[in-house]
A = this chain, B = another copy of it.
Amino acid sequence: MTNPAPRLRPDFRRFLVRAGLRPTRQRAALAEMLFKGDRHVTAEELHMEATASGSRISLATVYNTLHHFRQAGLVRELAIEGQRTYFDTNTSNHNHFYFEDRHDVVDIPDNEIGLSNLPRAPEGYEIAHIDVVIRLVPKRQTTTKI
């Protein structure tokens, strides 16, 4: 609670500044959590994680920050499951597994899925992104009865 030295990691400050965002303590904390690797989080998850690790950040700020990050091109928004919105820190072209039982999103490792015979974009439109989601369910046992 004292917090004598705000300990903003200078690297994340610069990271934010270069992205055109004012480097506040909250943003630096979230950036630090997010950009240590490829992650897929909901706002709520990130908020809980921040709280757990001692950062005092409101949920509204987590939402605001994620949207700022999205506008700055630092994260991508994934629509994978009804209500929940996932944010993906890997903004490059890649695909996802979605574990329907665990509500978990993971990148498909290395394996570049090839897409062939793609349609042309309709008149007046261009392709912004192609999302491929492989939805997974627990494998049925061979001993299934019914």
Contacts and interface: CB of A to CB of B under 8 A. Distances in A.
Interface of A: 77, 79-83, 85, 97, 99-100, 108-109, 111-119, 121-122, 124-140
Copies of this chain present in the complex amount to 2
A117 to B, nearest CB: 5
28 contacts: A77-B82, A82-B85, A83-B83, A97-B122, A99-B125, A111-B117, A111-B118, A112-B117, A113-B119, A114-B114, A114-B116, A115-B132, A116-B116, A121-B134, A122-B136, A124-B138, A125-B136, A126-B138, A126-B139, A126-B140, A128-B135, A128-B136, A129-B135, A130-B133, A130-B135, A131-B132, A132-B132, A133-B133
A85 B79 CA distance: 10
